[in-house]
A and B are shown apart, each in its own frame.
Chain A
Amino acid sequence: MPDPLLSRRRLLAGASTLAGAGLLGGCEAPVLGRLTSPYDLSNGLTFAVQRWLLRGQPLVREFGPEAISRVFPTINTTDPDNADYRRSKAQAFADWRLPVGGLVERPGTFSLAELKAMPARTQITLHACEQGWSAIASWTGVQLPHLLAHVGLKPEARFIVMRSVDGWWDSYDLFDALHPQTILAYGMNGADLPVAHGAPVRLRVERQLGYKSLKYLSQIEAVDRVDGLGQGRGSMVAELGFPWYAGI
């Protein structure tokens, strides 16, 4: 469904500004802003080349329902040990709220019902884990670009920071955040998103490995830079030795 608030021009402008800044030395993407080891160079090269190859913003493949995997592993947190989360889970997440703030015109908090009332997108895609496994599932949710347009992303916003109930956090540049297949998924395989898969809402970032698709979303924030967060590597996994950009 076309969204008047999110023009293609805005999407492309965000993408090209970022790519240009990164390639010309602006180096705002965490992957290019910090070249202290040979791995930073090779991961930065991978990022730059993939951004160029993906400059037309293609969609990933989508499958038919017959392709949905019987086995879809769950790893890391599968049931957050958090009092607020447990209480929320006990009432089917009726009291769950997602704050969306930072560099936006109209910050707000959204209930599960409010997200479900927004235009939904369902996509059946291949999830690839850095451990080597892959599985296909159907994901239903609201497009992140729709939500960001709803709250009015300010022009100076460059990254979207996502936080999770279990303390996990990650960031995404607008190139990925505004991609049509980047969704906040509340449904999986036709049912509510199971707890083990990140209920009530998880992120889907389809052109990167599974670890970028954060589960148990608790907060969304638009920012102009991420080098002040944590150790300045743009994500929590980057502090554990996994690249911020996981397109390979």
Chain B
Amino acid sequence: MPYGMGGTRPEAMGGTMTDTATVLRHPLWLRLTHWVNAAAFLALVVSGVAILLALPRLFWGETGANGAPAAFDLPLPVNLEQTGWGRNLHFLAGWVLVLNGAVYLVTGALTGRLRRAVVPDRDQIAPAHLAREIADHARLTPARGREALRYNALQRMAYFSVIAVLIPTMILSGLTMSPGITAAYPELFTLFGGRQSARTVHFIAACLLVLFLVVHVAQVFVGGARNLMRSMITGRFTVPPERADA
């Protein structure tokens, strides 16, 4: 029995799902912004590494250069030849990420989708529920039935960290490296403790975002790559039936 393709939520249907059902899980705007964001993020990582290789050392404070003591030397080769295309691609992808992200945030806020992606439902913050989620994650057991149709609490906390903390940190620390932007907003230097501190924060936040991506993609495989990829491409998601003993 397929659910309505208008994004009908299973709660509205009532009862327990025992049959295989296909729903339209992700609306078109979400699928589009997801993949545009994915492409922009990959371009930012690749170009970010290209730029980093010109000076794979991290400093704290306002200044830092070869010949000056570094807070941390990254075990990476030096390459001075890639900052031209690296910077061009970085700022192109940065604009795409920011403008696409604005579309996502506005549409998500208007449709209520954003809240359901980043704020856990009331029942999900009960300690017993959280404990079960943690145990399920540890056993790599994906949700089934009705639970498979909503983001779990740990997932929402991860999305919250990315959307509300890490990406804003990336944008602000990136802008702190811009001599034009900081001429208009010198407060950014105060926020991060200097241009090189902002550069170091930018690197750390980038590493955390890459860690998120690795876990995100791993979860796709744990949860059923075929089904989850289809749901993010065509929107159609086959709901795994509840276990008989559940």
Contacts of A207 in B (CB 8 A): 179-180, 183
Contacts of B214 in A (CB 8 A): none
Contacts of B16 in A (CB 8 A): none
Contact status of A248 and B180, CB under 8 A, knowing A39-B88, A45-B95, A242-B87? yes
Interface string of A68-111 (1 = CB under 8 A from B): 01111100000000000000000000000000000000000000
Give the number of chain A interface residues (Cβ < 8 Å).
40
Chain A residue nearest to B189 in the complex (CB): A61
Give the Cβ gap from B95 to chain A, nearest Cβ, in Å.
5
Would you call B84 and A240 a contact (CB within 8 A)? Answer: yes
Q: A-B contact count, CB below 8 Å?
A: 114
Would you call A58 and B183 a contact (CB within 8 A)? Answer: yes
A201: Cβ under 8 A from any B Cβ: no
Q: Determine the distance from Cα of A206 to Cα of B52 in the docked complex, in whole angstroms.
A: 23
B215: Cβ under 8 A from any A Cβ: no
Chain A residue nearest to B177 in the complex (CB): A128
Within 86-122 of B, Cβ neighbours of A (below 8 Å) are at 87-89, 91-92, 94-96
B236: Cβ under 8 A from any A Cβ: no
Contacts of B91 in A (CB 8 A): 42-43, 46, 248
A241: Cβ under 8 A from any B Cβ: yes
Chain A residue nearest to B56 in the complex (CB): A132
B55's contact among A53, A126, A132, A248, by CB below 8 Å, is which? A132
Give the Cβ gap from A126 to chain B, nearest Cβ, in Å.
6
Within 32-91 of B, Cβ neighbours of A (below 8 Å) are at 51-52, 54-55, 62-68, 80, 83-85, 87-89, 91
A243's contact among B67, B88, B181, B182, by CB below 8 Å, is which? B88
Which of B54, B55, B63, B80 has the most chain A CB within a 10 Å cutoff? B63
| A residues at B contact (CB < 8 Å) | 38-39, 41-43, 45-46, 50, 53-54, 58-61, 67, 69-73, 126, 128, 130-136, 206-209, 240-243, 246-248
Could you show 11 A-B contacts with beta carbons less than 8 Å apart?
Answer: A42-B95, A54-B183, A58-B184, A61-B189, A73-B65, A126-B179, A133-B55, A134-B64, A134-B196, A136-B63, A246-B179
Task: Identify 20 new A-B residue pairs, CB closer than 8 A, beyond the known A45-B95, A71-B65.
Answer: A39-B88, A39-B89, A42-B95, A43-B88, A43-B91, A60-B179, A67-B62, A69-B65, A70-B68, A71-B63, A71-B67, A73-B65, A128-B179, A130-B83, A131-B54, A134-B63, A134-B195, A240-B84, A241-B88, A247-B181
Counting from the closest, the 5 A-B pairs by CB-CB distance are A247-B180, A241-B84, A133-B65, A132-B55, A42-B92
